A and B are shown apart, each in its own frame.
Chain A
Amino acid sequence: MADRVEGPDVRSVLADALDAVAAASSLEELRAATNAATGKRGSLTALKSSLGREPDPDRRREAGRVVNDAMAALNAAVEGRERAIKELSFAGAVEADRMDLTEVILQGQSRRGRMHLVTQAIERLEDVFVGLGFRVAEGPEVETDFHNFEALNMPPSHPARSMWDTLFVESDPEGSVVLRTHTSPVQIRVMQEWPPPIYAIMPGRVFRKETPDATHMPVFYQIEGLVVDRDITFAHLAGTIEAFTKAFFGDTFTSRLRPSYFPFTEPSAEFDIRRHDGSWMELGGCGMVHPRVLQAAGLDPEEWGGFAFGFGIDRMAKERHGVEDIREMYSNDVRFLEQFP
């Protein structure tokens, strides 16, 4: 039966169409080849439409199957060819896209900005103290004589005032306004404004009338800590300093307190940090808040007690990063800043 169908004709038409598809080297040629076979006037389309002229239903069905198979075979070939052509063109396009990435990275060097070493140190210190249960308080940098000295147990012309070389702001009465010489006036403001118990640190900028050298700046940074609570003893001061030391520097560090003198604390101490190589670094001053200071801030020293401590932030940053000359940290030279991500 099969040989009575126009089989050889379908086969040769299909073969021609398949050849054309295989020969297509671009999507346009492929579309043209496909069109020549299955388009409106295509060779296979023509065969398909001739089927209607076959009177015998069985033979018509059979011929239809053969043509459909041929169509399917052609479609499969077209798909395959399309994939192959695209792959080839991708390969070409990708090759054309080739870039030397090192050229790009060398040209387009970009980096994050930098936070100043002092800001980095402040944030680290804040994080450690927040972890120890402290809050962060702030105060003005231009202060009254009352907050900077008098409330800190240094009445006018108290000899201890000479411990700080003070920069005064022109004011009336003369000498009543200063650039704060330490962050301690913030203690007074906190005690005046926050109800106890108080666990606070106070980082900030301080000022001294000092000629800049490798270890001194007229403008630098300190951090102050203040605890006011019931039943606070010297042991709590030593324990807090120790906890801070270990949290900030590492478990191998320890601390010690040595007697010292500050008008606003009594007993007063210097505190030193012992590095793991056994050497000591003087860090700052501390002590039990003087009863007169509590009184000046409106707290009853028979009810409340407390301790305070303070140290230089610049020094810690200097120590941590091996900065030899503190003036370098304030040169604001981009070449210095960019070293510290």
Chain B
Amino acid sequence: MRILLSILREMADVPDDVDTLVRAMNNLGMTVESVEETGRPVAGVVSARIVRMEKHPDAAKVTRCWVDAGDGAERHVWCGATNMTEGDTVPLATLGTVMPDGREISRRGILGIDSEGMLCSPVELGLSDDAAGLLILPRGCPLGVDPFVILGSEPDTVFDLDLTRNHPDCWGHLGVARELAAHFGVTLRGAPTSGVSVGPELEIPLTVTAGDRCGMFSAVALSGVTVGPSPSWVASRLSRLGMRPINNVVDASNLVMLELNQPNHAYDLDVVSSFDVRLAAEGEKVVTLDGAERNVTAEELLICNAGSGDAVGIAGIMGGLHSEVTGSTTRLALEVAWFEPDHIRFSVNRLNLRSEASVRFERGVDPDGVNGAVARFATILRETCPELVVHGGHSRVDTPALPVAVTVAVRTSRVERTLGILPDGNEMARLLEPIGFMVRPTADGAMVTVPTWRPDCTEEIDIVEEIARHHGYDALGKSVPKSVVHGHLTEMQTRRRLLRRVLVGLGLDEVMPMPFLAPGDLDSAGLGSGEHLRIANPLVAEESILRTSLRPGLLSTVRYNQSHRNERIGLWEMGHVYPPGSGQLPDETEQLGVVIAGADVSAALGVWTAVADALSVGAQLDQSRVPPGLHPTRSASLARGRKVVGAVGEIHPAVLDRLGIEGRVAVLELDLTVLLNENPKAVQARPVNRFPSSDLDLAFVLPGGVSASDLHRALRQAGGTRVVSVMLFDVYRGPGLADGTRSLAFRLRLQEDGSTVNDRTVADVREACRVAAAKLGAELRG
């Protein structure tokens, strides 16, 4: 929202120091996004007459101009504009001038011919956004003079405010001025109005048939209008506020909106002499001011010419083309209305049509602002139409949808509990009355009546906020609550941090791929196209599926890094997956995924053993249940009985081929929702057995189909308590062994509690192990 300093100071005696105002607006909740100085004279720019012009044969795009700046010297200037003719007076930036954009004018020549300055466009002087050509000054104006003086242009300051969803009043200068006047303790004058002669009654017939959408509709007749250009101060205000001046009627209407936050619309009364405010018919079309023919739905509210039945505008959003004020207009019907904000908002979204008016209506304009708006409109218009008459018999329809003033009980105790200050009713009045609230002190606080321009204030806490704003947030102090709660991470959060450090210690990097997948991504990763959730309104189709596995994201990250020839691609991600659940929400869990490019399953097993050790968790490797998408003979589920808590192995070669990933990829996946939430008990100490131990090496030939861990388990059981460890130290396949068999060599460490290990014990263990292995089909060697 653009706000002009000159208008603020016309409405109230606020300070003119820009920094002071910026600080005040920020402290009141109107965030100043930028401050722009406009119309400041540029030292070194003077009016100059173009004496003659000439084209150079080798420079088609520029013109040579000789100008007279009134000092008798004729200067030569190259000029790229085309809108000037000999005899025009234009602004000349003389050599050494520093332009508003910081550029310094130097003797820059073309084709070896110097330019002794630059002829300027309005945008170059910071006058307006007009960059179409040179600024042509009025004929006969003095030469060598500041063009700003010639134009009578006053310097001004534009504040660009970022306004919050509450405070609709600050969409007009009046609201901002009111806040600042209260802040600085000065009187709010408001926009100047002068008496306008009131003419005979001229009633404009009105009907409103959609009363829930339109709380109030009023139309006043004005005559004595001559349509022409606006006075320069009106045009200047509008262009500085970002609106294009059109003519004195439209400009007055727009300026009233910008000043008072009261959108309004002027119709030619000789075209529209009576109004019907109704819902659109199905399939109805409206040609709006911008020339577009729009299909409206039966939900849209239209302003119609009751005479012809034709729509003359979409209520609160945009006027119609055919009822526009023209050069021959002499009488006006000025519409000022209050439309239901939600209706306007829905309508704007349906039509995808926004306007300065709709922005204001959808936030809520003052339902009591009609008279002020009409008076200001007439005051502005009368400068160009001295014969202007405002007719009596002002027509107005109110419906039950029109808001009425709200009165709220505010307890001092509530203010104290929220803000820590204790204002009584009188103090509340001191803070609230300058911004238009009416305060009636009571025994425990006050009854506060909310001004009609503040529809956002409907309950006690809203008034508390107003008190806080005008008391000043800074003045409410800073202190730390005295809490009896002590801060800590949960066991699960501590375990998650431990897990991160283990992974980092293994040299693996954390990545965060997007949790959205493209249709087909799960399938490409070998995960099947099973059940998954879709985003109803995705940004792009490639990001329309909620992931059910971290794997597709990690694999595409591997591919990305391989394609950039990055080394050491060992990645992990801890993140949520969102498979469909049985209830309203998905069955969301936290997962760990690890992928290591160029590594085989042993790398994945290394990560798993380190993680399992750190978290004190375990699971069996179940190679009979290989999760989809993993290498069928080099992967396993991490199982606890029937429950699967993860997977370890390699990515299926077909998946790697499909995704264009080179080499093997080791993978580990863990369900952290299970593993991090386990809370292993504190380990109880066992005394170290200091009796001497003895080692027994046994090698077995295993048939295929028997796993090392089967044999390992059998040996442990057979050895009993005397065997304190069983370590696999050698695996051999090859000559001397039948195909499909292998030799596994285990070292058993034997230790007795209370004595040394004797030969007898060693022999017993050896025999027990032989028998146990034989049951598995494994034969003891040697």
Residues on the B chain within 8 Å of A229, using CB? 481, 483
- Would A170 and B535 be within 8 Å (CB), given that A111-B507, A219-B514, A233-B419 are in contact? yes
Cross-chain contact A199 with B487 (CB below 8 angstroms)? yes
Residues on the A chain within 8 Å of B476, using CB? 233-235, 238
**Assembly CA distance A219 to B576 (angstroms):** 13
Say yes or no: is A58 at the interface (Cβ < 8 Å to chain B).
no
B319 to chain A, nearest CB (A): 24
Binary flags per residue of A232-247, CB closer than 8 Å to B gives 1, else 0: 1111101110110000
Taking a contact as CB atoms closer than 8 A, the residue among B465, B483, B546 that contacts A268 in the complex is B465
**Assembly CA distance A229 to B480 (angstroms):** 13
| In the complex, chain B residues 500-543 whose Cβ is within 8 Å of any chain A Cβ | 500, 503-516, 533-539, 543
Residues on the B chain within 8 Å of A227, using CB? 481, 483
Say yes or no: is A257 at the interface (Cβ < 8 Å to chain B).
yes
Binary flags per residue of A188-213, CB closer than 8 Å to B gives 1, else 0: 00000000011100000100011100
Cross-chain contact B509 with A113 (CB below 8 angstroms)? yes
How many A residues are at the interface, by size bracket? 35 or more
**Assembly CA distance A154 to B200 (angstroms):** 50
B193 to chain A, nearest CB (A): 31
A130 to chain B, nearest CB (A): 4
Cross-chain contact A140 with B341 (CB below 8 angstroms)? no
Cross-chain contact B512 with A116 (CB below 8 angstroms)? yes
Residue of B nearest to A231 (CB): B417
Residue of A nearest to B564 (CB): A333
B530 to chain A, nearest CB (A): 16
| In the complex, chain A residues 128-176 whose Cβ is within 8 Å of any chain B Cβ | 129-136, 140-144, 157, 159-160, 163, 167-171, 174-176
- Would A116 and B511 be within 8 Å (CB), given that A159-B362, A218-B543, A268-B465 are in contact? yes
Taking a contact as CB atoms closer than 8 A, the residue among B167, B477, B510 that contacts A116 in the complex is B510
Taking a contact as CB atoms closer than 8 A, the residue among B512, B572, B576, B578 that contacts A118 in the complex is B512
**Assembly CA distance A293 to B285 (angstroms):** 44
Taking a contact as CB atoms closer than 8 A, the residue among A119, A133, A259 that contacts B485 in the complex is A133
Cross-chain contact A130 with B487 (CB below 8 angstroms)? yes
**Assembly CA distance A260 to B570 (angstroms):** 45
| In the complex, chain B residues 164-192 whose Cβ is within 8 Å of any chain A Cβ | 164-167
| In the complex, chain A residues 169-185 whose Cβ is within 8 Å of any chain B Cβ | 169-171, 174-177, 179
Binary flags per residue of B470-511, CB closer than 8 Å to A gives 1, else 0: 000110111111011111111001000100100111111111
Say yes or no: is A334 at the interface (Cβ < 8 Å to chain B).
yes
Say yes or no: is B468 at the interface (Cβ < 8 Å to chain A).
yes
Cross-chain contact A133 with B536 (CB below 8 angstroms)? no
**Assembly CA distance A142 to B164 (angstroms):** 28
| In the complex, chain A residues 324-341 whose Cβ is within 8 Å of any chain B Cβ | 330-335, 337-338
Say yes or no: is A312 at the interface (Cβ < 8 Å to chain B).
no
| In the complex, chain B residues 618-642 whose Cβ is within 8 Å of any chain A Cβ | none
Residues on the B chain within 8 Å of A113, using CB? 503-510, 570, 572
- Would A134 and B362 be within 8 Å (CB), given that A236-B481, A260-B164, A333-B561 are in contact? no
Binary flags per residue of B543-582, CB closer than 8 Å to A gives 1, else 0: 1001000000000010011001011111110011010000
- Would A170 and B533 be within 8 Å (CB), given that A133-B485, A160-B165, A235-B476 are in contact? yes
- Would A266 and B417 be within 8 Å (CB), given that A113-B508, A116-B510, A129-B487 are in contact? no
Say yes or no: is A267 at the interface (Cβ < 8 Å to chain B).
yes
Say yes or no: is B3 at the interface (Cβ < 8 Å to chain A).
no
Residues on the A chain within 8 Å of B330, using CB? none
Say yes or no: is A270 at the interface (Cβ < 8 Å to chain B).
yes
Residues on the B chain within 8 Å of A231, using CB? 417
Cross-chain contact A119 with B500 (CB below 8 angstroms)? yes
**Assembly CA distance A135 to B504 (angstroms):** 25
Residues on the A chain within 8 Å of B488, using CB? 130, 135
Say yes or no: is A81 at the interface (Cβ < 8 Å to chain B).
no
Taking a contact as CB atoms closer than 8 A, the residue among B419, B568, B576 that contacts A334 in the complex is B568
**Assembly CA distance A69 to B29 (angstroms):** 106
B18 to chain A, nearest CB (A): 17
Residues on the B chain within 8 Å of A175, using CB? 536
Residues on the B chain within 8 Å of A233, using CB? 417-420, 476
**Assembly CA distance A116 to B508 (angstroms):** 11
- Would A234 and B473 be within 8 Å (CB), given that A169-B534, A170-B535, A219-B515 are in contact? yes
Stretch of B239-247, B265-273, B435-443, B583-591 on the interface side: B583-591
A138 to chain B, nearest CB (A): 8
Cross-chain contact A266 with B504 (CB below 8 angstroms)? no
Residues on the A chain within 8 Å of B508, using CB? 113
Say yes or no: is A110 at the interface (Cβ < 8 Å to chain B).
yes
Cross-chain contact A334 with B586 (CB below 8 angstroms)? no
Say yes or no: is B345 at the interface (Cβ < 8 Å to chain A).
yes
**Assembly CA distance A219 to B479 (angstroms):** 35
Residue of B nearest to A146 (CB): B584
**Assembly CA distance A288 to B420 (angstroms):** 12
Say yes or no: is A275 at the interface (Cβ < 8 Å to chain B).
no
Residue of A nearest to B575 (CB): A205
Residue of A nearest to B480 (CB): A239
A317 to chain B, nearest CB (A): 12
Residue of B nearest to A115 (CB): B510
Total interface residues in chain B, CB < 8 Å:
85
A13 to chain B, nearest CB (A): 46
Binary flags per residue of B327-362, CB closer than 8 Å to A gives 1, else 0: 000000000000001100110000000000000001
Taking a contact as CB atoms closer than 8 A, the residue among A112, A119, A141, A235 that contacts B507 in the complex is A112
Binary flags per residue of A93-105, CB closer than 8 Å to B gives 1, else 0: 0000000000000
B587 to chain A, nearest CB (A): 10
Residues on the A chain within 8 Å of B485, using CB? 133-135, 197-199
Residues on the A chain within 8 Å of B585, using CB? 140, 142-144, 177
Residues on the B chain within 8 Å of A134, using CB? 485, 487
Residue of B nearest to A218 (CB): B539
Residues on the B chain within 8 Å of A209, using CB? 537, 539
**Assembly CA distance A291 to B464 (angstroms):** 12
Cross-chain contact B342 with A159 (CB below 8 angstroms)? yes
Residues on the B chain within 8 Å of A331, using CB? 560
Residues on the A chain within 8 Å of B537, using CB? 167-168, 209
**Assembly CA distance A238 to B420 (angstroms):** 12
**Assembly CA distance A305 to B533 (angstroms):** 38
Say yes or no: is A248 at the interface (Cβ < 8 Å to chain B).
no
Say yes or no: is B407 at the interface (Cβ < 8 Å to chain A).
no
Cross-chain contact B473 with A170 (CB below 8 angstroms)? no
Residues on the A chain within 8 Å of B346, using CB? 157
Residues on the A chain within 8 Å of B694, using CB? none
Say yes or no: is B31 at the interface (Cβ < 8 Å to chain A).
yes
Residues on the B chain within 8 Å of A129, using CB? 487
**Assembly CA distance A160 to B477 (angstroms):** 29
Cross-chain contact A337 with B511 (CB below 8 angstroms)? yes
**Assembly CA distance A110 to B567 (angstroms):** 12
Cross-chain contact A338 with B509 (CB below 8 angstroms)? yes
Cross-chain contact B28 with A259 (CB below 8 angstroms)? yes
Say yes or no: is B462 at the interface (Cβ < 8 Å to chain A).
yes
**Assembly CA distance A266 to B29 (angstroms):** 13
Residue of A nearest to B510 (CB): A116
Say yes or no: is B766 at the interface (Cβ < 8 Å to chain A).
no
Cross-chain contact B29 with A242 (CB below 8 angstroms)? no
Residue of A nearest to B476 (CB): A234
Residue of A nearest to B27 (CB): A258
- Would A238 and B477 be within 8 Å (CB), given that A209-B537, A233-B419, A259-B27 are in contact? yes
Taking a contact as CB atoms closer than 8 A, the residue among A133, A197, A330 that contacts B514 in the complex is A330
Binary flags per residue of B441-475, CB closer than 8 Å to A gives 1, else 0: 00000000000000000000110110011000110
Cross-chain contact B560 with A171 (CB below 8 angstroms)? no
- A–B Cβ pairs within 8 angstroms, 12 of them: A110-B507, A113-B507, A119-B510, A135-B485, A140-B588, A142-B546, A218-B543, A219-B514, A232-B481, A233-B420, A256-B474, A259-B465
Q: Please provide the 8 A-B residue pairs with the shortest distance between their CB atoms, ordered closest to farther.
A: A259-B29, A261-B164, A233-B420, A332-B511, A130-B487, A267-B465, A239-B478, A113-B504
Besides the contacts A288-B418, A333-B564, what 12 more A-B pairs have beta carbons closer than 8 Å? Answer: A111-B507, A118-B512, A135-B489, A140-B588, A159-B165, A175-B536, A227-B483, A242-B478, A259-B469, A259-B473, A305-B417, A332-B513
